[in-house]
Amino acid sequence: MTAPSEHMKVTNKNEASRKAVNTSIAQKKNYTVALLRIPAFLLDCVFVLSPLVVLGKLHSESGAYISQMPVGWIGFVYIPMAFFIYWACNLNLGKRIFRLVIVDAHSDKPATVWQLFKRSLLLSLVVPFNMAFLIPLFASKRQQSFHDMFASTRVIRKLPAS
């Protein structure tokens, strides 16, 4: 009668080691997504902020200096609206290249327009001041940054269609 209980112990150990391996794989995948978000975000910034470069060039050619541009307007109106329109229209060049999507944090369904708006608003306010928004990206269980937590969103990697 001791043989079945020993078999159960071995089975439980095997099951526990399988769960540990699966958890480890899931964590690696999560960190992969977190690491891919950085270059995707940089590409998105280049795309979204490039009109500012053109505007600055046109502004300086007109005889005005770039320091005379309305910085408050750019920082608190253009940037949040540009990111919101960019995400709401699903342009996301950086995310598309790395096959990342913004989803609801609880249901994994596509993020709503309101979530995208809250996300872009907080992102535009946090990013210019410091890069501390990267800390929760790697510290949180779901690899969410501040703007993801505020908007109840997260970024996941799309699986290739099979």
Token pair 């995948």 is found at 29
pTM over 0.95: no
pLDDT at 106: 92
Query: What is the average per-residue pLDDT within 73-93?
Result: 76
Rounded Cα gap, residues 29 and 80, in angstroms = 30
Rounded Cα gap, residues 58 and 21, in angstroms = 56
How do the domains of the chain map onto residue ranges? Answer: 2-157
- Report pLDDT digits (tens) over 29-65: 566 788 888 898 888 888 888 887 777 777 666 665 5
